Amino acid sequence: MKRGFTLIELLVVITILAILAGAALPYVQAYVAESRLAKAKSDLEEIARALAVYETREGEYSKSDVSDLTGRYLNKSPIDPWGVSYVVATQAGTVYSKGPDRKSTSTAEKLDDIIFPYQPPLALVSVKWVDRNQSGAVDTQNTPDQLQLTFSRKLANPVASLDDIGEVDALLSATTGGSIAFLSSLIVPTSVQIVASKTLVYDVATTNAFTAGQDSVNVKSGNTLQDNAVPTANKCISDQPVLILPQ
């Protein structure tokens, strides 16, 4: 006749299993947390690629969600592993998940946000000469020509910090005829306009101030140009001369 387990033996086995389960629980929880983070990062990378393609084809993305991407650039609108929609921060050029706490209002709530950029680092990407009076030459007759300086991301700098000779020359320089010059020798600082937060537009200062296709504009080292990235703004990449080209 076979002897069954006694109550004490069963209790011992249950206790051992409980101890083993308790010891394994933190590892299981850590694995689940890491899996969720990996899933969120994968989703964000996919959304960032879709946003980059959208902006290449259709211009600046303006919504705070991914609804305009669904169907054409994304198969579906993904939800993060914590059940919240991903957010597009168009001012900062990033897309993010609110993280495990599902909140992103206060500074403390933003600490666990998972952020992924969809725009390249802040840099000067093009400088265009606009022949506003259609004379075919760089001049200021009747309607002054313009220089348009376009950056890869929206600038956080206000107009008031870009309309003074000293301010402009601390940020930007020019190369004309092979010689380095102050940008203020080419443009009228007080005429500055900011278009879509990414393009600085200045009136040309004098006739033949520069030669399109030969001269260039450069962001100076130590500049204070920055983007709207959160929690820390990024400084503009410097020392990359950009050729002045006709629009």
Instruction: Give the pLDDT band (50/70/90) at residue 4.
Output: low
Count structural domains, the chain: 2
Chain mean position to CA 220: 21
- How far is residue 76's CA from residue 53's CA, in Å, rounded to a whole number? 16
- Whether the CB-CB separation of 96 and 110 falls below 8 Å is answered with no
Please give the average per-residue pLDDT across 130-154, as a whole number.
94
- Is residue 76 domain-resident? yes
CB burial of residue 175 (10 Å; 0-12, 13-18, 19+): middle
Q: What is the pTM for the complete model shown?
A: 0.79
Please give the average per-residue pLDDT across 92-111, as a whole number.
93
SS (H, E, C) 127-142: EEEECCCCCCCCCCCC
Asked if residue 141 and residue 216 are part of one domain, the reply reads yes
Please give the average per-residue pLDDT across 142-168, as a whole number.
93
CATH number, residue 177? 2.60.40.1220
Asked if residue 239 and residue 160 are part of one domain, the reply reads yes
- How far is residue 149's CA from residue 242's CA, in Å, rounded to a whole number? 9
* Token pair for 167: 């301010």
Percent of the chain with pLDDT over 90: 76
- Is residue 3 domain-resident? no
pLDDT on residue 28? 67
CATH number, residue 113? 3.30.700.10
